[in-house]
Amino acid sequence: MNFEPKPPNDFCDFYHEYYRRCSERVPAIRAIAAKWKFEDLIPGLSDFDTRFILEDPMLVGDWNAMSLAVGRVHTELARENPKWARNLEHLPGVNFTVSEIMDPRLFFPESQQWTFYKGDAEVIARVESSLSDHQWTNRDELFQLSKFSSFCGPYMRGIDPPLNIGPWEDKYPLHSRYMHYFAPPVQAGVSLVEKRNVPGKLEALQMARERFPHPEVIDSILDAIDRHYEISGDYEEERLREIESELEEYLQTLWGALDGHLTLVNTESSDTRAAIQKKVSAVSIDPMGAFFQGVKFGRLMKGRLLFYAEEIPWFESEFLIRHEIRRILPNLFATPLTIYGKVRYGEDLTPEKVIDRLRGNLLDAAVCNDLLTFVARAREPIEDGQEKAQARRVAEKFDAVLEMAETLSIDMLESAD
């Protein structure tokens, strides 16, 4: 194979320019962070999973304006810098205000795995100090168990297509298997043993090499990453299947090695993926944490959908649109409303029944109507070639989702006081 050489590492250039443009449009932005450590960003292959920290207060209208503004920044940069298409693939996922990220009731375990890159030094120092003060709890254990259970088992081909990667696409089969679908459960396993949210993927792989059996598997992965995956023989179908088996067997062994380190579930080395997922799903969730983990991911979703709907010849978004619309209802509608019904009404209600009770009370009738229209549109099958049009149709009614999420968030917090 004739590999495209590893490109220069320009992630610093990217996040400086990205932060500059976003903060000019949204002055409330106080800091930019991203998942994992800088060393985990593999040039040409990794995306940049941004998170923003905002000053208080941020009202529904503020989030809506920010969503559209950041979406425009993505569109501009994608058009001006095709080489950054991969970095720009997602608008920032979860976004917090300063008071929210420092509120122990809203603690999000992933936030201890972020690197803060740029912003108000005083704000960053306060936030990092607050996050470092957090001690390991059942919420952290369940977060990492859920991550492990999501990735254990055989590699699922087709679930992680090589989008917006350009000339380095030939290297993606190994990057996807190693960094996207093996490193996360290993990182979860190390975190569960250490009882802290280990921030880096490469850091976690190094720690796993010292703590778990079969260090040779880790050595081969670290060597491949160091060589920017330029190992021709590993891309042959027979070898790829061997690699998939090796990774699956390693994770099975890792699960058994967690015995004695967990408090929420028991581990048996013979547990299948289905058995592991059944055990984890049976753990009682913290309703407050589950509610906010969902709704906080929706704040910039409208801008994300509208960005994906833009016509940018070198930016692939059809798969991304289908992916977002497929998960938008469970994550941003059904789950938060179901949890809200249990917490506030003490009943197992359908999301639609919860909306009926909210109508004319916490939510205006018009918002409720728009919510139901949003649900109907998000459930529509998407014909090939109609992805961008459907993204615009769903985004058109997303304001109601954000109104619902922010209104119920305030009510949930008040009920906890």
> Which string of DSSP letters, residue by residue, matches 153-204?
SS--TTSS---S-GGGGGGHHHHIIIIITTHHHHHHHHHHHHTS----HHHH
Give residue 1's pLDDT band: very low, low, confident or very high (50, 70, 90). Answer: confident
Handedness of CA 56, 61, 67, 72 (dihedral sign): negative
Do residues 145 and 265 touch, judged by C-beta distance below 8 A? yes
Q: How many domains does the chain have?
A: 3
User: Where among 249, 265, 281 does a domain terminate?
Assistant: 281
User: Where among 281, 299, 321 does a domain terminate?
Assistant: 281
Give the per-residue pLDDT at 288.
Answer: 83
- As given in the structure block, the two tokens for residue 173 are 């089969």
Q: What is the three-class DSSP state of 108?
A: coil
User: What is this structure's pTM?
Assistant: 0.96
Give the per-residue pLDDT at 286.
Answer: 83
Other beta carbons within 10 angstroms of residue 237's beta carbon come to: 7
Report the distance separating Cα 114 and Cα 73, nearest Å: 22
Give the per-residue pLDDT at 185.
Answer: 98
Pair 296, 369 in one domain: yes
Give the per-residue pLDDT at 295.
Answer: 85
Mean pLDDT, rounded, for 231-235: 98
Q: DSSP labels for 279-305?
A: HHHTSPP-HHHHHHHHHGGGTTHHHHH
Provide the CATH number for the domain around residue 32: 3.30.460
Do residues 409 and 292 touch, judged by C-beta distance below 8 A? yes
Do residues 235 and 174 touch, judged by C-beta distance below 8 A? yes
Pair 110, 151 in one domain: no
Pair 176, 123 in one domain: no
Pair 272, 334 in one domain: no
Treating both helix axes as pointing N-terminal to C-terminal, what angle do 318-329 and 365-379 enclose, rounded to 10 degrees? 130
Question: Which segments of 330-412 are extended strands (E)?
Answer: none
Q: What is the three-class DSSP state of 384?
A: coil
253 has pLDDT over 90: yes
Pair 88, 157 in one domain: no
Give the per-residue pLDDT at 417.
Answer: 73
User: Where among 103, 134, 165 does a domain terminate?
Assistant: 134
Lowest mean pLDDT among 134-138, 150-154, 284-288: 284-288
Pair 257, 323 in one domain: no
Do residues 41 and 10 touch, judged by C-beta distance below 8 A? no
Give the per-residue pLDDT at 157.
Answer: 94
The overall average pLDDT reported for the chain is 97
Report the distance separating Cα 317 and Cα 236, nearest Å: 28
Give the per-residue pLDDT at 98.
Answer: 98
Pair 142, 244 in one domain: yes
Mean pLDDT, rounded, for 399-415: 95
pLDDT digits (tens, 9 = 90+) for 82-132: 999 999 999 999 999 999 999 999 999 999 999 999 999 999 999 999 999
60 has pLDDT over 80: yes
Pair 149, 161 in one domain: yes
Mean pLDDT, rounded, for 38-56: 98
Which residues does 320 contact at the CB level (< 8 Å), separation at least 6?
89, 163, 308
Pair 102, 152 in one domain: no
Instruction: Calculate ∠ Cα 20-25-27, nearest 5°.
Output: 85
Give residue 47's pLDDT band: very low, low, confident or very high (50, 70, 90). Answer: very high
Give the per-residue pLDDT at 287.
Answer: 87
Report the distance separating Cα 17 and Cα 220, nearest Å: 35
Pair 350, 217 in one domain: no
Percent of the chain with pLDDT over 90: 96
Note down the domain range covering 110.
1-134
Give the per-residue pLDDT at 74.
Answer: 98
Report the distance separating Cα 312 and Cα 307, nearest Å: 10
Pair 330, 218 in one domain: no
Give the per-residue pLDDT at 102.
Answer: 97
Pair 256, 199 in one domain: yes
